[in-house]
């Protein structure tokens, strides 16, 4: 990005900024006509931002957009801060430290912000990381690579395959653990995908991200990264997990099981929650101690890693609601989808108005599976008549599997099977803790 | 349903039951070949149950299905319990009590189970209710009606209209409050619908249901009903709410705001949760005291009830995920849907692969709105480039509105407006606490 003196600003705003003799990067002070005063670095206006806003980066790390009509005075009070990074410490004598691979796929966890242009750049060489999070050098010998650089909402099932294969390569070099940085939006879909694609894992594979980018004072980037790398280096864990804040304090980083985790808040640091289960492990950033859940899969160098990285994205997740138009089911079948996961209501229901479309989908060899939009709990289609109707039609209940994991598993199952019977069966076979059967002989009345 | 002596049983099971001289309703004792003993009333086999199971209703209220191959002996040990209900107490002298209307739309909250046939029948005359929950007669003078009898997953937007009009009628008789019983699956969709259809409410309108049917010892039916009727009779509340257990104890029934509530567990008694808000009121079943949230709308007989009961169900809720097929968007438009609510990821994103279909939907006068599948939190499409792209395309962010409420509101807005601009604007106008704007001038960087 080339930086002109007043990049992105036009018309009246440009005129006012020129009068003030302001340049991008300068520290400017704006007094609004309601008397508020804002001081910060002048940012270039983004192509997608409000064209009537002057954008400042405040000292507290927040950006603010101020409508030009609200500005009473604009004043340059200082030169722009030049981008600077602390000089990395000399490479540590790390002979005894475990080797951890960190693979970047995008996201802002390990990013440096150029304060002058506002551009976020990945900080992913070992030196960059050491400069951003100096304590890492005492935990592990980090080998960092950029695999791709994608906003997480744009990550595709074929990129899950690329990632799984890259992780497998790293593991085969005898690495102690792997950390994958990704944007948080779809991190739980990726963790589910890797949980199915990489079986009999000898070491931990931990997805990590940040809910607040690393240029903000409230950023969780450094603490998440430290926890993830420590767990990858030392935890007695042979599984895929998502390593993020346990709560709003900065003390514990938990590793959620890759198939049991979900982003449950748009912006909180503890947005990720284990559903119907406990996190596999918990790292104490203060003491360095690790606690485990009872049933966590253990690290074993003897494990023979199995890589099954195919995904067929012709699987559809449909959430049911009152007034749901069953033509959407017909359309999915017509569009060539090979399987459907329903997010039903309650114990696993959709309305009787969808029965015909479901019958016709199943008749067309498009298997249909049931999960619940309640998120927590377990579907049980033997309790009410609607559940029994749906079982009769051939809808397969997925017990306590969460909808997102069910969808990813279906894509993975479709990637490795053609036979409808095998697809149905494979969805119910537990692979990575994603499904547990009801143990009791009791039926709920 | 006609009850034959061994209804629904066939083949080998029928043969064994005949040898034992067992009849439906008899108390029978089954010893399994692993030595377990089960004693209970023999149930008719449901058409949809496992054909190899003998079904018993145990004394603890649970049903159990036992595979006939596991039965070692079958023995009749007693006659079937005849269905019986306690005789209702004499109608109370209730001159001073507030009048509460209870409108039944289905569900099992106030049901009686015929133990001989297993059939669940509504218990909805004032006498029935008094027999099921005798304490009601000291709280309110209950006027009970059955409006329709529908499993909640089959309730349609046109039934929301019927229900809203019926509630309005009751309110105009000067009633102290209205309780609506419904199955829990879609209760939160109904509560959102009523919140938009009934404005300036002078009295509380409370949806109530049961997570466990009233024939089970663990049933929450009586406590929910008691709490709902007490709140309807006495609470200083002029709003639509959902009255259910606050937690797993049987002490508190909370009234969640109708537009802020969601079923978050398949089966727990405290499945309903207020999202991004606090419940409006809390009823203490032990003391009869009511506590309120700070911002609860108050009861006022002076209010002039506004009834706007139209819903157009041509609105679609689409949940985004990696690999999402944008043809589903095209198909929704083609199927005549008039508006789309997206459940995006994180702060309100979908992948760039959906941009073309979204552009084309909006160009075809099908407005598109954004909510987040994280459920908790607030969409903010100014933070990342994807959000800005989507704003640019014309997608309208719905702040902190939950997806289910957004869908119901869109159906309601479509029911009352033709102009696209008005539809867009109406979605953002707060009606019943469903949306709050970000108050701060800060943008998150």
Band of residue B94 on the pLDDT scale cut at 50, 70, 90? low
More confident: A179 or B443: A179
Domain identity same for B137 and B71: no
Does some domain include residue A256? Answer: yes
Among residues A185, A236, A284, A389, which one is catalytic? A185
CB-CB under 8 Å, B322 with A49:
no
CB-CB under 8 Å, A407 with B443:
no
Band of residue A106 on the pLDDT scale cut at 50, 70, 90? confident
Please determine, for residue B180, whether its predicted confidence score (pLDDT) is greater than 90: yes
* Nearest residue to B361 via CA among B396, B333, B324: B333
| pLDDT of the residue at B106 | 81
| pLDDT of the residue at B24 | 81
Please determine, for residue B183, whether its predicted confidence score (pLDDT) is greater than 70: yes
| pLDDT of the residue at B10 | 80
More confident: B365 or B130: B365
Q: Does residue B185 carry a catalytic annotation?
A: yes
| pLDDT of the residue at B240 | 98
Q: B393 is in which domain, residue-wise?
A: 315-428
The CATH number given to whatever domain includes residue B361 is 3.40.50.40
Tell me whether residue A88 is exposed, middle or buried, using C-beta atoms within 10 angstroms of its C-beta: 0 to 12, 13 to 18, 19 or more.
Answer: middle
Q: Under 8 Å CB-to-CB from B213, ≥6 apart: which residues?
A: A445, B108, B111, B113, B120, B219, B221
Query: Residues A345-357: pLDDT tens digits?
Result: 999 999 999 999 9
Tell me how far apart the alpha carbons of residues B404 and B398 are, in angstroms, rounded to a whole number.
12
Please determine, for residue B433, whether its predicted confidence score (pLDDT) is greater than 80: yes
Q: What percent of chain A has pLDDT over 70?
A: 85
Contact predicate B130/B88, CB 8 Å: yes
User: Chain A residues with CB inside 8 Å of B264's CB?
Assistant: 374-376
Please determine, for residue A108, whether its predicted confidence score (pLDDT) is greater than 80: no
Query: Residues A324-347: pLDDT tens digits?
Result: 999 999 999 999 999 999 999 999
Band of residue A34 on the pLDDT scale cut at 50, 70, 90? confident
Q: What percent of chain B has pLDDT over 90?
A: 61
- Count of CB contacts below 8 A, A vs B? 249
In eight-state DSSP terms, residue B127 is H
Query: Residues A364-378: pLDDT tens digits?
Result: 999 999 999 999 999
Please determine, for residue B60, whether its predicted confidence score (pLDDT) is greater than 90: no
Domain identity same for B267 and B398: no
How far does A116 lie from chain B, in Å, by closest CA?
14
| pLDDT of the residue at B218 | 73
Residue range A156-162: mean pLDDT, rounded = 98
Does some domain include residue A29? Answer: yes
Band of residue B356 on the pLDDT scale cut at 50, 70, 90? very high
Domain identity same for A336 and A375: yes
Helices and strands (DSSP H and E) totals, chain B: 10, 24
Residue range A192-212: mean pLDDT, rounded = 96
User: Chain B residues with CB inside 8 Å of A47's CB?
Assistant: 388
Q: Under 8 Å CB-to-CB from A189, ≥6 apart: which residues?
A: A155, A404, A407, A408, B321, B322
| pLDDT of the residue at B14 | 86
User: Chain B residues with CB inside 8 Å of A334's CB?
Assistant: 331
| pLDDT of the residue at B443 | 37
Domain identity same for B224 and B290: yes
User: Residue B321 is nearest to which of A66, A189, A215, comparing CB atoms?
Assistant: A189
Query: Residues A275-326: pLDDT tens digits?
Result: 999 999 999 999 999 999 999 999 987 668 999 999 999 999 999 999 999 9
Domain identity same for B111 and B46: no
Please determine, for residue A45, whether its predicted confidence score (pLDDT) is greater than 80: no
Domain identity same for A393 and A366: yes
Please determine, for residue B274, whether its predicted confidence score (pLDDT) is greater than 60: yes
Mark which of B250, B280, B307 sits at the end of a domain.
B307
Mark which of A276, A307, A338 sits at the end of a domain.
A307
pTM of the model: 0.81
* A contact test, residue of B36, B54, B322 with most A CBs within 10 A: B322
Residue range B207-233: mean pLDDT, rounded = 87
User: Chain B residues with CB inside 8 Å of A190's CB?
Assistant: 322
Contact predicate B42/B29, CB 8 Å: no
Does some domain include residue A91? Answer: no
Residue range A426-430: mean pLDDT, rounded = 97
Work out the mean pLDDT of chain A and round it to a whole number.
87
**What's the CA angle centered on B272, arms A325 and A386, to 5 degrees?**
45
ipTM score: 0.80
CB-CB under 8 Å, A154 with B352:
yes
Domain identity same for B244 and B136: yes
Does some domain include residue A4? Answer: no
Does some domain include residue A32? Answer: yes
What would the DSSP string read from start to end of B262-293?
Answer: EE-BSS-TT-EEESSS--SEEEETTT--EEE-
CB-CB under 8 Å, A347 with B267:
yes
How far does B306 lie from chain A, in Å, by closest CA?
24
CB-CB under 8 Å, A316 with B319:
no
| pLDDT of the residue at A82 | 45
Give the chain A residue whose CA is nearest to the CA of B406: A321
Please determine, for residue A93, whether its predicted confidence score (pLDDT) is greater than 60: no
CB-CB under 8 Å, B325 with A266:
no
User: Residue B186 is nearest to which of A65, A322, A347, comparing CB atoms?
Assistant: A322
Does some domain include residue B53? Answer: yes
Residue range A155-163: mean pLDDT, rounded = 98
Domain identity same for B231 and B162: yes
Does some domain include residue A6? Answer: no
Among residues B108, B117, B186, B316, which one is catalytic? B108
Does some domain include residue B85? Answer: no
Report the domain count for chain A: 3
Q: Does residue B108 carry a catalytic annotation?
A: yes
Domain identity same for B132 and B278: yes
Residue range B157-184: mean pLDDT, rounded = 96
More confident: A63 or B112: A63
* A contact test, residue of B118, B153, B213 with most A CBs within 10 A: B153
CB-CB under 8 Å, B443 with A63:
yes
CB-CB under 8 Å, B271 with A374:
yes
User: Residue A49 is nearest to which of B154, B345, B388, comparing CB atoms?
Assistant: B388
| pLDDT of the residue at A444 | 36
User: Chain A residues with CB inside 8 Å of B46's CB?
Assistant: 388
Domain identity same for A73 and A191: no
Among residues A108, A186, A226, A371, which one is catalytic? A108
CB-CB under 8 Å, B346 with A46:
no
The CATH number given to whatever domain includes residue A28 is 2.30.30.520
Q: Does residue B31 carry a catalytic annotation?
A: no
Domain identity same for B132 and B174: yes
CB-CB under 8 Å, A442 with B153:
no
Mark which of A284, A307, A330 sits at the end of a domain.
A307
The alpha carbon of residue A418 and the mean position of all alpha carbons in its chain are separated, in whole angstroms, by 30
Please determine, for residue A254, whether its predicted confidence score (pLDDT) is greater than 50: yes
Q: What percent of chain A has pLDDT over 90?
A: 62
Work out the mean pLDDT of chain B and round it to a whole number.
87
Domain identity same for B104 and B70: no
The CATH number given to whatever domain includes residue B114 is 3.40.50.1170
| pLDDT of the residue at B313 | 97
More confident: B80 or A381: A381
Report for A38-42, A326-330, B6-10: range of highest mean pLDDT: A326-330
Please determine, for residue B400, whether its predicted confidence score (pLDDT) is greater than 70: yes
């Amino acid at each position: 990005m080339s930086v002109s003196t007043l990049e992105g600003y036009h018309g009246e705003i440009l005129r006012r900024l020129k009068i003030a003799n302001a340049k991008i990067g300068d520290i400017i002070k704006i007094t609004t006509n309601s008397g508020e005063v804002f001081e910060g670095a002048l940012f270039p206006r983004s192509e997608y931002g409000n064209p009537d806003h002057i954008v400042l980066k405040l000292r507290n790390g927040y950006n603010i957009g101020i409508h030009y009509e609200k500005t009473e005075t604009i004043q340059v009070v200082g030169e722009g801060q030049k981008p600077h990074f602390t000089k990395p410490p000399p490479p540590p004598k790390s002979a005894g430290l475990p080797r951890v691979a960190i693979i970047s796929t995008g996201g802002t966890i390990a990013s440096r912000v150029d304060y002058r242009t506002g551009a976020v750049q990945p900080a992913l060489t070992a030196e960059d990381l050491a400069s951003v999070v100096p304590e890492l050098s005492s935990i592990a010998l980090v080998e960092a690579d950029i695999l791709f650089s994608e906003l997480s909402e744009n990550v595709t099932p074929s990129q899950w395959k690329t990632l799984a294969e890259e992780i497998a390569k790293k593991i085969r070099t005898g690495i102690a653990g792997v950390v994958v940085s990704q944007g948080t939006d779809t991190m739980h879909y990726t963790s589910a995908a890797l949980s199915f694609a990489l079986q009999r894992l000898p070491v931990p594979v931990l997805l990590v991200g940040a809910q607040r980018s690393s240029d903000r004072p409230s950023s969780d980037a450094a603490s998440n990264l430290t926890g993830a790398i420590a767990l990858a280096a030392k935890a007695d864990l042979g599984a895929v997990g998502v390593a993020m804040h346990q709560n709003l304090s900065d003390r514990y980083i938990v590793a959620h099981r890759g198939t049991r985790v979900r982003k449950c808040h748009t912006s909180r640091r503890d947005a990720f929650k284990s559903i119907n289960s406990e996190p596999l492990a918990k790292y104490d950033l203060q003491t360095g101690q690790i606690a485990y859940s009872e049933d966590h899969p253990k690290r074993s160098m003897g494990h023979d890693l199995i890589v099954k990285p195919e995904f067929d994205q012709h699987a559809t997740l449909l959430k049911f609601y009152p007034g749901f138009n069953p033509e959407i089911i017909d359309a999915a079948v017509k569009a060539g989808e090979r399987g459907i996961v329903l997010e039903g209501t309650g114990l696993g229901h959709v309305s009787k108005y969808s029965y015909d479309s479901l019958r016709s989908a199943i008749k067309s060899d498009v298997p249909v599976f049931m999960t619940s939009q309640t998120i927590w709990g377990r579907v049980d289609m033997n309790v009410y008549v609607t559940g029994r109707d749906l079982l009769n039609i051939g809808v397969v209940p997925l017990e306590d599997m969460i909808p997102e994991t069910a969808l990813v598993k279906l894509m993975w199952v479709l990637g490795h099977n053609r036979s409808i019977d095998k697809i149905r069966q494979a969805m119910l076979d537990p692979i990575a803790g994603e499904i547990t059967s009801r143990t009791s002989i009791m039926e709920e009345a």
